Amino acid sequence: MRFILAFIAPMLAFAVDGTVVNQTNGQPQANVIITLIQPGQGGMQTLGSTKSDTQGKFTIDKPLGEGPGLLQALYAGVTYTKTIQPGTPPTGIELAVYDSTTKQVNAEMNQHMVLLQPSDTGIQVNEMLLMRNKGKVTFNDPSNGTVRFYVPPGSGQIRVMVSAPGGMPVQRPAEPAGPADTYKVLFPIKPGETRFDITYKLESASKEYTGKRLIKGGESRVVIPAGVTLEGEGLEQLGTEPTTKAKIYGVQKDSYTVKLSGAGSLSAEAPGGAAPAEGGAQRPPEEDTGQLPLQQTNPRIYEQLPTVLALSGAVLLLGFIVLYRSKA
């Protein structure tokens, strides 16, 4: 008997276990599907899967290899992810899940920013929507989407990156929402802040851009790089970002049209470019979109590292601009 225990004990030490807690009611959650995933050079490898018991407990008798691991909990149609960092004990982990609703009760737009970068071939547009869920229920509407946005006619391929609270950016398709030039994103808005980054290029010889805000609430901003001037009604100049010298305008209307002159850019591009977004909106791709390369098709984790770093730099830059909210 001692021999058997001595043989089994080292194996159990490598098991991943914990408890699923429903943060909506504060109680352990049963019947949640738990999956253990290991990122690596060959992509994402599923090590094991189980279901939480009546006390919310779960155990996966599979050891993690070198590097971080991911625990994914599927509950009420929404996936919740927790990272297991190297050196962190894989036992006693608490996985948080929430109840879901199709009603936009607690989720609201906190910030809306549009960065316009004109060039000789058109206008590169980077739009950011920051959604805040102040409640304890996830907003998830698989039919109608959780976010809708407008893209002017004549734009190229639309790319959408979404960052859930505490999560890494992931790519999601922009799907037609019914009205002309209106799109939706099917992505749950969990408690906390969820960020949607939308990029496309507008072919406009006149350098005109028409923007529309489809989600109420929050503050809307238009940002242009140094060397670019802007004309249009319903915008109030708020000041200049001190590092990049980008000009920031407050938007007073839900719909506005501006005319740009000059050229300028704030974004950087990763080496080698990127493949078109898989499953993106059906607009004709361009040979040179000038967009940030966001994701390769079925990439290996280390091969896409330059792309991730370039995207992170752009995200940080846009984040600093959003934080700069003082009036001139």
Per the domain annotation, does 279 fall within a domain? yes
Cα dihedral 85, 89, 91, 93 sign = negative
Q: Does the pLDDT of residue 310 top 80, yes or no?
A: no
Query: Would you state the pLDDT for residue 178?
Result: 86
R_g of the chain, CA atoms, integer Å:
23
Mean pLDDT over 31-47 rounds to 88
For residue 311, is it within any domain?
no
What's the pLDDT score for residue 217? Answer: 83
Residue 325 domain flag: no
Spatial separation of the C-alpha atoms in residues 132 and 137, rounded to whole Å:
12
Q: Which of 42, 66, 97 is the last residue of a domain?
A: 97
Could you tell me if 119 and 91 lie in one domain?
no
pTM: 0.77
Assess if residue 260 is contained within a domain. yes
pLDDT exceeds 70 at position 267: no
Q: Copy the structure tokens of residue 106.
A: 């607690």
Instruction: Judge whether 115 lies within some domain.
Output: yes
pLDDT tens digits for 70-84? 999 999 999 999 988
Segments forming the whole domain that contains residue 226? 107-296
CA distance 184 to 289: 22
pLDDT at 22: 98
Q: What's the mean per-residue pLDDT of the chain?
A: 80
Confidence category of residue 179, pLDDT binned at 50, 70, 90: confident
Tell me which of 97, 120, 142 is where a domain ends.
97
> Phi and psi dihedrals of 107, rounded to 5?
-85, 130
Predicted local distance difference test score (pLDDT) of residue 284 = 35
The pLDDT of residue 302 is 38
What residues contact residue 308 under an 8 Å CB cut-off, 6+ apart?
Answer: none
**Which letter does DSSP use for residue 271 in this model?**
T
- Burial of 138: CB neighbours in 10 Å, binned 0-12, 13-18, 19+: buried
